[in-house]
Amino acid sequence: MASIFGPHRPHRPHRPHRPHRPYRPYQGKAQPALLVNATGDPRTTYESARTVRRMWPSSRLVTLRGADQHAVHGVFGSECVDTTVNTYLATGHLPPTDLACDRPSG
């Protein structure tokens, strides 16, 4: 039976001749990434975003202050956030430092 994801393969149990390797977190150089978070995000707390930022030194954090929702880019109406994210997506270049944007009034 074929599926849209490729040929069907039956489940294969663990093979004893192949030793199980425990999971090891990535130890190499992480690629830079742009993290975006609102201070009032109900799903990913701002403290959690700051922790990820500290653990990922090549990243940058864009903070939307005063916002209380999870989706921010392209949804919340912050020109500061949208421009920063769109520039990153178009060029692949991070801002030189972390950035804090104020909640738009209105």
Both structure tokens of 24: 């090891």
Which residue did the predictor score with more confidence, 69 or 9?
A: 69
Confidence (pLDDT) at 69:
87
Reported as a single tens digit per residue, the pLDDT across 25-60 is 555 566 789 999 999 999 999 999 999 999 888 999
Alpha-carbon gap, residue 89 to 58, rounded angstroms: 16
Four-CA torsion 40, 100, 75, 71, nearest 10 degrees: -40
pTM score, two decimals? 0.70
